[in-house]
Structures are given as C-alpha cells and as structure tokens.
Amino acid sequence: MKILAVSGSLRAASYNTALLRAAAELAPEGVSLEIHPLGDLPFFNQDVEEQGDPPPVAAWKAAVRDAEALLIACPEYNGGLTAVLKNAIDWASRGKPAPLDGKIACAIGASPGITGTVRAQDALRLNLKRTGCDLAPLSDILVGQAHTKIENGVLTDERTRQAIARHLASYVEIVRARR
C-alpha cells in the first residue's frame, strides 16, 4: 500500500513535515509513504478553475484521486487549519466526483504549544467531512511541545515514535478492511 502524505506547512524546518518523515520510517511492513508538496498550488480561484486546472492542481487532484490512503500533517494557525492545507482541500473538493469524496484519511499534528494542534485537527475533521472524506476513527496524534521532541528535523521522542507507528498500523488495517 502507498500512503499519500501532505504537510500543511511550507516551512523548511517544519515540525509537521518532520512527523511525515518519521511516519515514512515507521509505516508498517509493505507500506510506503510519498510526500506530495503543496507549495506550488495557486490559491483557489473559481475563475482559474473554469479555465482548466493549472498543472500543480491537476497533479494534486490526480494524486488524491489515485490514493488509497491519505496522511495529513496538520499544523495549527490561530486555532484552525493553515491556508496551505485548506487551499489544497478546497481544490481537491472540486469535480464530479471530487477527488476527496469517499476517501478515509488520517491526521497527525505538531506544535510547540501544549495542545498540539487539537483545534486544527477538529477543524480538519469538519472540513474533510464536507468533501465526503472521513478521518479514520482513531485517537488523535497531538504532538505538543514539538521543539522538545524534534531535533534538526528528526523526531527523536521515542514515545511519540511508538504512538505514530501504532496509529499508522491501525489506519492501514482500517483502509485494508475497506478493500
């Protein structure tokens, strides 16, 4: 199985992108993870859409459409999603069928604060639901105080690594059961 992975942060030293790199190492046997960059997506604009999806949008929508599994690293800005992630969701909510429709995704998130993106992940669940995509029924992975657990882009905290490994294993089981 291949998991399509996206990070809602464009920051080079992003904690959330670091979680995805850790997830790639911690994925169960036989499961690979491919990070799709979101930085090239233009802001959603219905006028642009009407002219035809620009190449980065077409590539993103095709990747979502083809994905059996989707892992979203969800940073929190002002209690909600980053514009980068919301924009990507908006693009992939368009079309008939919408690329996100019928998918089951899973989320992780990291922040230096104590609550570790809980508000953003709640918002993510609601936003995805509107597109026909569910978040898998798993306990949230909320990596608070990320600056103490991620060093030079590497997730070093062993408990968090184990939690991500368990999370991915449960998620993969859920996806396989839908086959």
Ligand X SMILES: Cc1cc2nc3c(=O)[nH]c(=O)nc-3n(C[C@H](O)[C@H](O)[C@H](O)COP(=O)(O)O)c2cc1C
One-letter amino acid of 66: D
- Residue reference for tokens 């809980």: 118
Q: Is 37 in the site for ligand X (CB under 6 A)?
A: no
Judged by CB under 6 A, the residue of 23, 74, 76, 98 near ligand X is 76
Which of 42, 79, 102, 153 binds ligand X (CB under 6 A)? It is 79
Dig out the tokens for 39 from the structure: 């930085």
In this chain, which of 1, 65, 77, 166 binds ligand X, going by CB under 6 A? 77
Min CB(100)–ligand X separation in Å: 22
Phi/psi for 138 (5° steps) reads -125, 155
Rounded (to 5) percent helix, strand, coil in the chain: 40, 20, 40
The C-alpha angle with vertex 68 and arms to 67 and 71, in degrees rounded to 5, equals 75
Count of positions on this chain that bind ligand X (CB under 6 A): 14
| Member of 32, 46, 51, 78 binding ligand X (CB under 6 A) | 78
What's the maximum distance between 2 C-alpha atoms anywhere in the chain?
Answer: 48
Name the segment binding ligand X (CB under 6 A); options: 57-65, 111-119, 125-133, 165-173. Answer: 111-119
Q: Which is nearer to ligand X, 20 or 100 (CB)?
A: 20
Minimal CA–CA distance to 6: which of 25, 23, 26? 23
Question: Shortest Cβ distance from residue 30 to ligand X (Å)?
Answer: 28
Considering only residues 112 to 131 of the shown chain, the ones binding ligand X according to CB under 6 A are 112-113, 115
Q: And the tokens for 28?
A: 């169960």
Q: What residues line the site for ligand X (CB under 6 A)?
A: 9, 11, 14-16, 75-79, 111-113, 115
